[in-house]
Amino acid sequence: MELTPMMRQYLAAKEQHPDEILFFRLGDFYEMFFDDAKLAAKELGLTLTSRSGDAEKNPMCGIPYHAAESYITKLINKGYKVAIAEQIGDPKAPGLTKREVIKIITPGTILSESALTSAQNNYIALLYEAGENVILAGADISTGECFYGVYSGQDRTQMLYDELYRLAMPELVVIGELSFNEELLAFIELRLPRCSFTHREKPAEQPELRLSQHFPRELWPQENEAKEGLASLLDYLHETVKNDLTNLNRLTKLDVSSNLVLDTYTLRNLEVTRNLRDGGKSNTLLDVLDYTETAMGSRLLKRWLEAPLRSIAEIDRRFDAVEELSEGFTLRESVRSSLKRIYDFERLLTRAEVGTANARDMVALKLSFRALPEIKEALKDTKAELLRHAYENIEVYKNLEELLEKAIVDEPGITLRDGGIIKEGYNSELDEYRAIARDSKKLLQEMEEREKEATGIKTLKIGYNKVFGYYIEVRNSGKDMVPEHYIRKQTLANAERFITEELKNFETKILGAQEKIVNIEYQLFTEVRETVAAELTSIQKTAHEIAVLDVLASLAEAAASNNYVRPRLMDNGEIRIKDGRHPLVERILTQDLFVPNDAVLNHGDTEIMLITGPNMAGKSTYMRQTALLTLMAQAGSFVPAREAVVSPVDRIFTRIGASDDLVSGQSTFMVEMNEVAQILKYATKNSLVILDEIGRGTSTFDGMSIARAVVEHIRDHIHAKTMFATHYHELTDLEGGHVKNYCVAVRERNGKVLFLRRIIEGSADKSYGIHVARLAGLPNSVTQRAEKILEALEADSVNTVPEKKAKAVPEPKADMGMGSLFADTLREDLMAYDVMTMTPLEAMNALYKLQQQAKKEAGKA
C-alpha cells in the first residue's frame, strides 16, 4: 500500500511512541489509526472508519480536539498512556503541516482537573534496585511534591510495601530487573490493583545535572543510588510532560524514625484513611476528622494520619494550636470562613507553570489571594507557635491580585482560543479591534461622512464585495473631484471605485479582527499566567502554610463538635484513657448510646490486657478504640474521652478480623499467622499491639497452644503494650506479673443474656457462642442440640484441660456496685446533686434523667 505524506508522518511519530495511544491532530480532530484506532474505539465506544473505505484494513477513528480531555481521562483511568501529536506549523501554509508529540499523558502525570480527585494526591513512584539497596523515588507533579527513600536489610521489601500502600499511586516505574519482582507483582495485584507499570532499562546517566535543575544541593540524597533513582524519575517526568517542571522544587526523605509507623495491615484493619468495604473514605478515621475547607488541607490531613509523630514536643505544638482554635470560637470561625474561599493553590500553580491553566484557574487564584489578608488579620493575636508561624509566613499577593482583577474577566469561558477572557480597558490594541468588530458598520459610516466632507463629493459612498473587498465609489459626475491619494481599483459604466490607505488598513482590521482578538487575548493571557508562575516558589510556601492551618482548624472543629479532650503526653510508657469512645462507632450509633470504657496499659502490672468475653460484646471495638485514640493523639488530634494520658508509641500493630486473601491463595488462618509473624518480628517495647482471637482458624488445642505461646513471647521477650482478646478461657491463668485479666460485663436473667459493653477487671467463664447463634436466627433445634453437645464436651474436657487458676468473675447482679458497670458520668451526675436544696419537681426531673441514662447504658432504652 502506497502511503500519503501525512500517513508517513503519522507512522514516524508512532514508531517513536509504540507504548502510547497516539492522538494525531488533523484540523479540528485528533485521529487514531490502525491498532490504536481499534483499541480506542473499543475502550471509548467510537465508530471505526477508514480513509480508503475499508475499515478492516485501514481502521481509523477520531474525536473533536475541544472534547479530548474527557476521552483522555477515560483512557488514563483504564491504565493506558496517550501521546498528543499537535500541529506545529501553520495549517494554512502550502505543503504538509509539521506535527510533533508535545506531551505524553500517563496515569501518574495527568494534570487535567477532571481526572484528579481534589482531596487525594496523584503520586507516581519509581523503584530501582542497586546492590543491597532498594530506592523508592516519588512525586506528585500536580502539587510539586518530591520524595525518596532508601531501603536495605532483610526488612526492606516489607517497609517498601507499607510505603507503596500509603502512596496508592496509579503508576509505578521500574528500572531494570528487581530481585523481588514476582513478590512485588503479587502485592500490587492484591493491594493496589489500579496501579499500572512502566519499565525503563537503565537509570539516569547524569543524575547530578538533573537534580541541580530542581533542588538545592543540600537537599540531595547522600547515596549515589538514591541520586540515580531520583534523577531517573525526573527524567521520565520531563520526557512525558515535556516541560521544565520548576514546580518540583521540594524534596523530602522518607524517614520513619521520627514517625509512628503504621504498616499495611494496621492501616487496613483500623480503617484509618480507607475503609475495608470499597477502599473509599467513608466511615474512616479520616472521614470523622476531616472538617477541612481546602483540598490542600484534606490531602495534608491524610498524610498526618498515615504518619503520626513520635516527638512529644512536636505533638504538643499541634495540640497548642488545636486548643487555641477549639477554645476560640470566633477565631476558628473567622479562619475557616476565609479558608472556604481558597482554591487548590498547589494544583493551580502547577497548571500555570506547565502552561495548562485556563482563565478560570486565574480567577480562582485571584479569589484565593483576596482571602489571604483576612486570614493574616485573624491570626494576628494568636499565641500558639504553629499559628504564629502561619501568620508570619503567609504572604499577601496584592500586586498579583490587582493584575488578575484588571486583566481577567470575572466569568471567563473554559477554552482560551474562544476569546472573551481579557477585560475591556486592559489593552488598547485589543480594545480597538473589539470596537472594530463590534462597531464596523458605524465606523464605516463615519469614514464615509468624513470623506464626503473632505472631498466635497456628495454622492461618494463606501461599499464592499467579496471579490474586491472594501472600496470608495464615486460617480462619473464627481470623478474630477477625486483626491490624488485615492487609488483606482475598478472602473464601471457610470462610476469609478477607489481605495485609500486608511480604507485598506480598516479592511485588514475588519476582516482579521476576530482572529486578531483571539490571538491578542491569548498572548495577553499567557503573559499574565507567566507573571503568576514567576512567583511559584513563594506561593507554594504560602500554600503549605494554608494547608497546615486548615488541618489544625479541622482538628479543632472536630474536637469542639464531638466533645474531644486534649491528651496529656508522657514518656513513661503509660497509656491511660478514662471513658474513651470509638470515634467512628459513636458517630454511627444514632439509636443507642455508646458506652465509654477505660483503658490502662503500662510496663508494670498491665503490660498485657488479656480480654475474654462473648462475641458481639464489643471486644474488637474496644481494642480498635484504644489504638485509634493513641494514633489520633500522636497525629495531633484531641481524642474522644473524658481524660487521656498517652506515651507516644513507635508502632501500632493490629491483627483483627478474618479475611481470606483469595487472590494470593492464602486461607484465613495463613493470613492470620503471617500478620502475627510480622508483629512478633518488628514489635518493640515501645509498640502498641492489638491481637484479636489468635489461633481460631485451626483445631482447638492447636489454636490454644499458639495463642498461649504468642502471649508468653510478648510477655517475656518483647514487652510491648498489648491487648489480647481471646475465647480461650484457659489462658486467663497467665494473669500475674505483666498480665492482667479483663472481660466484658454480661448480665444473665431468665435465660436471656445482656451485653453491657463495659470492660471490667476479671475473666469471663463463658463465650455465649450458642446465645449469639440464637440471636443470628439458627433454628431452635440446632441451638438446643448445640447446648447438649457443649455440656458433653465440657464434662469430657475436665480430664484433659488443666484446671483454671484464675477465678471467674461472678455473674453481675442487680445489687452489684453499678459504678463498675456503667459510665462514671452517671455516678458523678448523681453525686453532684444537692438533694437538700432541690424542689420536688427538680428532684423528679433529675431522677427521670438518671433513669433514662441508666436504661441506655443497660441497652434497654
| Residues in binding site for ATP | 613-620
Of 21, 64, 83, 114, nearest in space to 351 by CA: 114
End-to-end CA distance of the chain: give it in Å, rounded.
83
Give me the helices (H) in 563-614, please: 585-588
The Cα angle at residue 680 between residues 581 and 582, in degrees rounded to 5: 5
3-state secondary structure 776-838: HCCCHHHHHHHHHHHHHHHHHHCCCCCCCCCCECCCCCCCCCHHHCCCHHHHHHHHHCCHHHC
The number of CA neighbours under 13 Å toward the Cβ of 412 is 27
Q: Which residues have CB under 8 Å from 629's CB, separation 6+?
A: 567, 577, 580, 583, 639, 640, 641, 644, 646
List, as residue ranges, the binding site. 613-620
Which residues, listed in sequence order, are joined to residue 576 by a DSSP beta bridge? 600, 645
CA of residue 699 relative to chain centroid, distance: 43
Euclidean distance between CA atoms 525 and 416, whole angstroms? 8
> Locate cell 477532571: which residue?
114
Contact 190, 663 (CB under 8 A): yes
Euclidean distance between CA atoms 342 and 727, whole angstroms? 53
Three-state secondary-structure class, residue 729:
helix
Report the interhelical angle of 359-379 vs 385-393 (nearest 10°).
130
- What is the DSSP code string of 399-464? HHHHHHHHHB-SS--S-GGG---BPTTS-HHHHHHHHHHHHHHHHHHHHHHHHHHHH--TT-EEEE
515-536 b/e with 16+ CB inside 10 Å = b?
A: ebbbebbbebbeebbeebbebb
Q: Which amino acid is at 578?
A: K
Euclidean distance between CA atoms 380 and 392, whole angstroms? 9
Helix (H) or strand (E) holding 858: none
